[in-house]
A = this chain, B = another copy of it.
Amino acid sequence: MERKNKAKNKMKSSQGLKITDLGEFGFIARFSPAFLKGLPKKLKGIGDDCAIIPWQGRKRLLVTTDLLLDGVHFLKERIPPFDLGYKSLAVNLSDIAAMGGKPLYAFLSIAIPSETEVAWLDDFFRGWKKLSSLTGVALLGGDTTRSLEKLVINVAVLGEAEKNYIKYRSSASPGDIVAVTGDLGDSGGGLRLILAGLDKREGKKLPPAEKYLLSRHYRPRPHLEEGFFLARQPGVRAMMDVSDGIDSDLKRIMESSRCGVEVHLENLPVSSALKRCSHKYGWNLEEVATAGGEDYCLLLTVSPAHFAEVAIQFRRKFQRPLRAIGRITELKGQLTYLLEGRPVILKKAGYDHFKS
């Protein structure tokens, strides 16, 4: 009852309020309670990377969907169409990876400006097909329409997971080691290059570091095998994919798990390419690594008793380390960055889908 009244009061005070005033967290806080109320108990709804639906026996159906707009999530004139096709699928597969699932089917809705060349679309579908073949994901349907202005893409992916192995954002526990499955900030660095017009050089080849960051931005690899493997390791608790940068994404884990996080900045895994470019262009390396976004590796918490074993198994399987970057604390809602043991404040918060 109390919750209901609160919602009513909120509704009353909305006169003149704009969507930008809410922000993405505010949006979800405002609109999700009314929908979550009537949900059957077996279902998991808004809040994790995928929705979870009863399937066959212990199997669960995972569903995720992402909306991508020219000018907001990509720049059509800059991204090669092959890469856009690849990436549109990749970002959804990453959500399936985040819960420890296997992707099965995809649905593509696309609104196409009339001046688009068919050759452009051929390349888009080649890029999509490249990743869908690699991951065994079948395109089962969708919607195609014209767009008056910009290209719009919505992808929905269905996957499956075994009930007992599904990982949530809400399972982190104080003392857990926080870890990531890949380098941070490369994609964010690639985006900086694009926004600064450094992604193309007339008649010249790009240096390898720049090329590497761009490729990581344009063709992120969903960590499907890593997610599937980690979900089955004892001691792995919360898991999600790094889509908005760990600064934003850790806040989601903190909110779902009602905890805090301590991050040791010197432990953030960053590529030599990102280091080189940060130095060259005067970027704040830690800022790019924590708030760059679109890394699409996995962020997880592991019970301290199990971490060493999980890390050994991970290295054995993937020939690279599982990187510990911090730990879960009891200080609810507090995200602390430490540099050589001392708290520091980073300039920029993570990406907010409404404000930035």
- Residues on A lying within 8 angstroms of B by beta carbon are 11, 14-22, 24, 27-28, 30-31, 34-35, 38-40, 43, 45-46, 50-51, 53, 55-56, 61, 63-67, 69, 71-73, 105, 107, 109-119, 121-122, 125, 129, 133, 138-150, 152, 154, 156, 158, 353-355
Contact = CB atoms under 8 A, between A and B. Distances in A.
A109 to B, nearest CB: 4
Contacts of A46: 139-142
A144 B138 CA distance: 25
Given A45-B140, A118-B30, A154 B109 contact: yes
Contacts of A53: 105, 140, 158
B154 A65 contact: yes
Determine how many copies of this chain the complex contains.
2
A266 to B, nearest CB: 34
A167 B11 CA distance: 43
Instruction: List 6 A-B pairs, minimum CB-CB distance, nearest first.
Output: A154-B154, A51-B140, A67-B109, A17-B118, A51-B141, A14-B118
A156 B141 CA distance: 11
Contact of A21 (B11, B28, B63, B118): B118
B138 A107 contact: no
A65 B154 CA distance: 9
A85 to B, nearest CB: 11
A15 B117 CA distance: 8
Contacts of A43: 105, 138, 140
Nearest to A28: B144
A16 B154 contact: no
B19 A65 contact: no
Given A17-B118, A19-B116, A149-B149, A65 B144 contact: no
B109 A65 contact: yes
A29 to B, nearest CB: 12
A28 B63 CA distance: 25
A68 to B, nearest CB: 8
13 contacts: A17-B117, A18-B114, A18-B115, A20-B146, A35-B139, A45-B140, A51-B141, A63-B107, A65-B142, A69-B148, A71-B149, A145-B353, A146-B353
A155 to B, nearest CB: 9
A109 B114 CA distance: 23
Contact of A35 (B113, B114, B129, B144): B129
